[in-house]
Amino acid sequence: MAPMTPQERFATNLRRIRSAAGVSQEELGYLCDLHRTEVSLLERAGREPRLATIVKLAGALKTTPAELCEGISYVPKSHRFDVKKPKQ
């Protein structure tokens, strides 16, 4: 199985946190001034989020950018991302 990309891990984190908060994609989009399709793309790893978008999402979901990016790190010496699979 191929390793997860940073976008896939972010998507997993976003979907989990949004669902736990009981917020729809449309509602989250409204709170963040994003279109519902943008939220959908982010949750399907179809788009890489910008920093401002991460901060908006975290604020709307009453969490932190760090929690949305949990499991994603960068390894400078090997010039690659280290993405940990979420716990099941």
Q: Is the pTM of this model over 0.85?
A: yes
Comparing C-alpha atoms, which of 72, 76, 75, 87 is closest to residue 4? Answer: 72
Q: How confident is the model at residue 3 (pLDDT cuts 50, 70, 90)?
A: confident
pLDDT digits (tens, 9 = 90+) for 65-81: 999 999 999 999 999 99
pLDDT (0 to 100) of residue 1: 73
CATH (residue range 6-83): 1.10.260.40
CA dist., res. 16 & res. 59, Å (int): 15
pLDDT (0 to 100) of residue 16: 97
The helix (H) or strand (E) run that includes residue 59 is helix 51-60
Sorted by where each begins, the domain ranges of the chain are 6-83
Q: How confident is the model at residue 2 (pLDDT cuts 50, 70, 90)?
A: confident
pLDDT (0 to 100) of residue 7: 97
**52-58 average pLDDT score:** 98
CA dist., res. 18 & res. 58, Å (int): 10
